[in-house]
Structure 1
Amino acid sequence: MIQEKNLRKDVVMIQIVVSHGVAHIWNAKDWLEAREVHRIIGSFDGAEGEGWTNEIHANLPFKLTMIEARYLVKKGVAEIYSVPCLNELNPGVDEDNVEERRQKKELESLEIYKKRKRAELEATVDKIIEGKRKKGKIVEDKELVIQEELEKYKEFPYKTIRLDLTDPWISEKDLVSYDFPEFTSELEKVRYRVFEDFHSNLKYFLTTGIKFGGDFIAYKGDPLNYHAEFIIMCEDTSRKFTDIHIISQCRLAIALKKKLLIATLKSETDELVYRLVSRSVEDENTLAE
């Protein structure tokens, strides 16, 4: 079970930014806390690049559903803002600022590269000195040898540079407090209540269930390590599932070794209730006849 605690000692709120109706997290530490502490799966929405495994991965920003964003804000661990300038089709860009930032990142990358290179040189400096002696060069000062080698690197030897861990172009003055709109339908309310219940009370991980014909897929542990346990379908007065649809979804769940849950709200009490749908071998034989 994941212990719900803030990863950062200063207890800084997770910052969520909404633009064009989409919620994003731009800060790497905020993403880590949302993922590891609050079990928010989301998805990366940034430019793609190769990691150390040579696999293509998307990068920041981290995209959340509005249900995930609403949950974090209601839980009191996140603040949400809109950034009106991001809604512009072609927002202005300060070219001097862009170039200055690019140069700064190159210098930072070079310094990090030199630190790593120094560690390598310190491990091999004796061999370098021995090689120089064979060529007739007498060198005794190891630090001098290391400095001479490091001086060869005047610029970062790779074309790639470090990624920003936050959006460099969003400043505090750009942020405007964002208010979530009211639920436009009972179905939206049911979906949020299910998400909140499985996260806060049952401690599950939830992802979208669209690929299995449901609203959510529920995992008892991290989806990277666990198989899904439930396919959850949300129902309201405007969305009633037919028996045929339920049977087909139940068959799919059984074939995938999962359980089918149908969630709804009681109209009298607004209580969230679940219906576990299962079929026995006898049911299959009866239907076949």
Structure 2
Amino acid sequence: MADITVAEPFPIFAVANKYILYDINTVTYIRRVHHICGVLIGNIPQAAQQNVFSGIPLELIPEEARLLVERGSAYIVDDVASHRRGLTDLSAAERIAFVSVLEKQGLEAALAQKRKADKKREKHFEKAGGKARKRGPDREDTELESASASYAVSRAASVVPNDSDVQPLCITPTTSYPPLSAPKPTTALLPPASPSYDLFAHLHSKDYFLSPGLRFGCQYLAYPGDPLRFHSHFLANGVAWDQEISLLNIVAGGRLGTGVKKGYLVGGKDDSRDEVRVFCFEWAAM
């Protein structure tokens, strides 16, 4: 299967101070090309507590969104305003086209569901026929079984609906475009830069994959490759260059990092040199 390419710049939707991606192609594209993973937040309504098989949409932390915007690969869109404006500006012809696209997608989904059910039914009949052949025919009931089998097959064939009788399913699209026109790029919106953004951008420029580090008590987890293939190497915290750091925090971070087989990394931007410097701590006491 060929890798899907997404046209840049692509929109990142701002919803209640969160940065969201709805398109699965964009989600896979930024992970493959830009080493941006984000966090999948789509859950099943009946099982809201589950977080193992979460799906789209993908939430980006502000640092990830800002990095993509600064690279020129993405732009920020006010999701609510853009969606409302796109729907109110639709002409009658565009509304008809919108409904027809949804009906077409629903019909394709219904036909796919029907084909799956037909294959399942065929496998069931083949399995039942194989068991009957394995048992061998009884001399007295051969004609009766043959008649019953032919009747069952004819009845099953009459029950199976034709493609023209299939009712389209109701489809809820995950994106508003197409058929709505894509929002135009704008540079007016830019995610705010946190004090640790310089460290985030520095580690990302070194080809590290970064993810939120709350579960280990840090700001970021730094991976040498895709998190699906590698364990994280560093627990990273960004600080200002002149910020005082408690010695107890350094000891606690070093012990925690060593205990989970990672390094405790602290870094910040040195304004006098206009560069980011990082320091790694390990607990070496016996």
Q: TM-score, normalised by structure 1?
A: 0.69
1:206 maps to what in 2?
Answer: 210
Within the alignment, does 1:218 sit opposite 2:227 as a pair?
no
Q: 1:213 to 1:219 in 2, by over 3 A?
A: same
Give the C-alpha shift of residue 9 in structure 1.
4.7
Q: 1:49 to 1:134 in 2, by over 3 A?
A: farther
Equivalences for residues 112-123 of structure 1 within 5 A: 112-120=112-120
Q: Does the 8 A contact of 1:122 with 1:146 survive in 2?
A: no
Taking the aligned partners of 2:252 and 2:10, their CA distance within structure 1 comes to 41
Give the C-alpha shift of residue 212 in structure 1.
2.2
The partner residue of 1:270 within 254, 274, 282 is 274
Taking the aligned partners of 1:170 and 1:195, their CA distance within structure 2 comes to 36
Q: 1:147 to 1:107 in 2, by over 3 A?
A: farther
Mean Cα deviation higher: 160-169 or 23-32: 160-169
Taking the aligned partners of 1:215 and 1:266, their CA distance within structure 2 comes to 19
Give 5+ residue unaligned stretches, structure 2: 133-144
Mean Cα deviation higher: 212-221 or 174-183: 174-183
Q: Give the 3-state SS of the residue equivalent to 1:24 in structure 2.
A: strand
Q: Which has the larger radius of gyration?
A: 2
Give 5+ residue unaligned stretches, structure 1: 1-5, 285-289
CA offsets 1:122-158 (integer angstroms, 9 cap, x no match): 667778999995327489xx9x99964531796679x
Q: Does the 8 A contact of 1:27 with 1:167 survive in 2?
A: no
Taking the aligned partners of 1:55 and 1:269, their CA distance within structure 2 comes to 43
2:137 maps to what in 1?
Answer: none
Equivalences for residues 69-80 of structure 1 within 5 A: 69-80=65-76
Equivalences for residues 244-255 of structure 1 within 5 A: 244-255=248-259
Instruction: Tell me the amino acid that sits aligned with residue 197 of structure 1.
Output: H
Taking the aligned partners of 1:177 and 1:17, their CA distance within structure 2 comes to 12
Q: Does the 8 A contact of 2:197 with 2:238 survive in 1?
A: no
1:194 maps to what in 2?
Answer: 199
Taking the aligned partners of 2:40 and 2:282, their CA distance within structure 1 comes to 35
The partner residue of 2:233 within 213, 229, 232 is 229
Give the C-alpha shift of residue 50 in structure 1.
8.2
Taking the aligned partners of 1:103 and 1:215, their CA distance within structure 2 comes to 45
Q: 1:111 to 1:27 in 2, by over 3 A?
A: same
Taking the aligned partners of 1:146 and 1:78, their CA distance within structure 2 comes to 54
Q: Give the 3-state SS of the residue equivalent to 1:252 in structure 2.
A: helix
Taking the aligned partners of 1:37 and 1:71, their CA distance within structure 2 comes to 13
Give the C-alpha shift of residue 7 in structure 1.
3.2
2:246 maps to what in 1?
Answer: 242
Give the C-alpha shift of residue 161 in structure 1.
6.3
Higher relative contact order (CA 8 A, sep 6+): 2
1:259 maps to what in 2?
Answer: 263
Q: 1:38 to 1:253 in 2, by over 3 A?
A: same
The partner residue of 1:150 within 137, 160, 173 is 160
Q: 1:76 to 1:147 in 2, by over 3 A?
A: farther
Q: 1:49 to 1:148 in 2, by over 3 A?
A: farther
1:111 maps to what in 2?
Answer: 111
Taking the aligned partners of 2:5 and 2:241, their CA distance within structure 1 comes to 46
The partner residue of 1:179 within 163, 188, 196 is 188
